[in-house]
Amino acid sequence: MRVEVQWEPQGATLDKFMGCEDRIQLLMGPVGSSKTNTTIYKLLMHYACSQEPNAQGVRPTRWVVVRNTYDDLKTTTISDWKEMYGPEFGTLSMGSPPMFRAKFALPDETIVETEVVFRSMDRPEDIRRVRGGNYTGAWLNEIKELPKAVLDMVDTRVGRYPSSVAGGVDCSVNRGQGVVMGDYNAPDEDHWLARLESERPEGFAFFRQPGGVIKVNGKWSPNPAAENVHNLPPNYYESRLAGKSEDWIRVNLANEYGLVVDGKPVFGDYSDAVHCMPFEPDPTLPLLLGWDFGLTPACVVGQLSRRGQLRIIDEFTTENMGVRRFARDIVKPGLAKYRGFHIGLSWGDPANTRGDADEKRAIGILNDEYIDNDDGDTMIPLRIGFDTEPASTNFLTPRLEAVRFYLTMMIDGAPGFLINPKCKKLRQALAGKYRFRRLQVVGDERYTETPEKNEFSHCSDALQYLSMGAQGGYVTEKADRFTPEMFRNDANRVAGY
């Protein structure tokens, strides 16, 4: 059976994407920009049809298409595929996994035989089978919803079909290297895709479509350079501006890096435009520290101004590290930049949190233990020059209210809470990444009663302990009490290491 498709790229960026032959091809665009349809077309009509034929005149390929969840795979990715390729191209079976099998003739009488396997990353059997599969190439739909580990894993499975024993043909569509394509809306500015784009590793190609809207005199307006507009309803982008937040517009319509949250922000009073601005720490004021422990520890550093404004000046975070290494290798060197400052007080999670693999509490490890010096002859304290105290409570409500106290306070027309722009993870947490997760229920929107545990919850917990400590006991009414004399001893001064 022969088939013909009338199709052309709907913009200059899409045209460049179609001509790209790099190993990893990543296409970022606004909603409605035809990035998904372009990728679908390129997979079958360009790559599958250009595979070298074997001795029998057959062009065999096998592809894996990946989406973050099975529901999204079924309702969005497969639905888009079906709109482009009907039964005249092949057969779609909704088994486990869903699979599309195509077999059709080209004008040169060769036969295209393609198998497209659809997989999600929320089902263990899919992850396991992708890891063990052999494919010609891959398409990662809405790749920003996937961890980078998925790209890394898939990259090792492409370029492996057909094998040399299957007729001696080229092992992939791209000179034996294998192709991975990914399409996505703009992610956060520190998303792994954004970091990759700034690094531009060898073999990676990045394509950014024009936004559907642009800022003109401070107002969002339709972008005359937008792609695929003639295939959209009239005034499509302009009509979608109403009722949307600035961040939503920036990501989904303007195709700019930004922050869009799925769920209910824990700290809805936070505004990055109001509470975030550059400032210099005051060497005459003490440093205040808040800690969260576990194997994803975090430490937040702040100061309390003489007028009572809480200023967050730094953050230290990591993963898969106990409190010993975190204090020694991350926090201690990080505090060296504040050489000469005084440490006021330090508060940590009061729960019975063990540090690494022993019975000692994390706070005890910070305060009491010693380690060998590098020369092996002397002993130096693990603690970083001050004692850490357990926070007054671990109950959620007072912790959250302590942060909200500063977020909602105004001092002489200025916000009572200020955060340095370099605290990127904590800013994202405050802006909504630290959230109450949306429940999948019919009817009114409902959310979990406690914040979701994720990569942004640990620095948020550290901020809560700091805020509780700053709000209680330590704060005095008289500004002249903020002097070095209030510290326990001069060992609280941050020294060089």
pLDDT tens column, 424-478: 999 989 988 898 887 755 556 677 788 988 889 999 999 999 999 998 744 433 3
pLDDT tens column, 345-356: 899 988 755 545
* Between residues 482 and 186, the one the model is more confident about: 186
**Alpha carbon distance 270, 432 (integer Å):** 9
Mean pLDDT within 158-185:
69
Mean pLDDT within 95-103:
89
Supply the mean pLDDT for the chain: 82
pLDDT tens column, 386-427: 678 888 888 999 999 999 999 999 988 889 999 999 999 999
Q: State the alpha helices, DSSP H only, in 53-113.
A: 70-72, 78-84
* Between residues 172 and 91, the one the model is more confident about: 91
Q: Quick one: pLDDT at residue 485? A: 39
- Residue 289, Cβ density class (10 Å: 0-12 exposed, 13-18 middle, ≥19 buried): buried
- Name the architecture of domain 272-492: 2-Layer Sandwich (3.30)
Q: Quick one: pLDDT at residue 189? A: 77
Q: Quick one: pLDDT at residue 314? A: 96
Q: Cα torsion for 247, 252, 258, 259, to the nearest 10°?
A: 70
Q: Quick one: pLDDT at residue 161? A: 85
CATH of domain 12-208: 3.40.50.300
Q: Quick one: pLDDT at residue 171? A: 43
The owner of tokens 């302990």 is 465
Q: Quick one: pLDDT at residue 191? A: 85
**Alpha carbon distance 38, 5 (integer Å):** 13
Q: Quick one: pLDDT at residue 198? A: 86
**Alpha carbon distance 180, 152 (integer Å):** 10
Q: Quick one: pLDDT at residue 264? A: 83
- Lowest mean pLDDT of 40-54, 150-164, 468-482, name the range: 468-482
- Lowest mean pLDDT of 172-176, 259-263, 333-337, name the range: 172-176
Q: Quick one: pLDDT at residue 404? A: 94
In a 3-state reduction of DSSP, which class is residue 416? coil
> Full-prediction pTM beyond 0.75?
no
Mean pLDDT within 46-70:
89
DSSP state, residue 432: I
Q: Which residues of 229-253 are buried (b: 16+ CB within 10 A; e: fewer)?
A: beebeeebbeebbeeeeebbbbbbb
Cis peptide before 97 (omega within 30 of 0): yes
Q: Give the bridge partners for 348, in sequence order.
A: 291, 390
**Alpha carbon distance 20, 39 (integer Å):** 12
Examine the pLDDT at 229 and tell me if it is beyond 80.
Answer: yes
**Alpha carbon distance 213, 160 (integer Å):** 42
Q: Quick one: pLDDT at residue 201? A: 92
Examine the pLDDT at 372 and tell me if it is beyond 50.
Answer: no
Tokens of 480: 């002249």
Q: How does residue 177 score in pLDDT terms, banded at 50, 70 and 90? A: low
Mean pLDDT within 268-288:
89
CA 378 and chain centroid, separation: 43
**Alpha carbon distance 134, 66 (integer Å):** 14
Q: Give the bridge partners for 215, in sequence order.
A: 220
Examine the pLDDT at 45 and tell me if it is beyond 80.
Answer: yes
Kindly report, as residue ranges, where domains of CATH 3.30.420.280 are found in the chain.
Answer: 272-492
Mean pLDDT within 212-230:
89
* Between residues 263 and 410, the one the model is more confident about: 410
Examine the pLDDT at 382 and tell me if it is beyond 60.
Answer: no
**Alpha carbon distance 460, 203 (integer Å):** 37
- Lowest mean pLDDT of 74-78, 215-219, 314-318, 438-442, name the range: 438-442
Task: Say how many C-beta atoms besides its own lie within 10 A of residue 198's C-beta.
Answer: 9
Mean pLDDT within 104-128:
85
Kindly report, as residue ranges, where domains of CATH 3.40.50.300 are found in the chain.
Answer: 12-208
Mean pLDDT within 75-91:
88
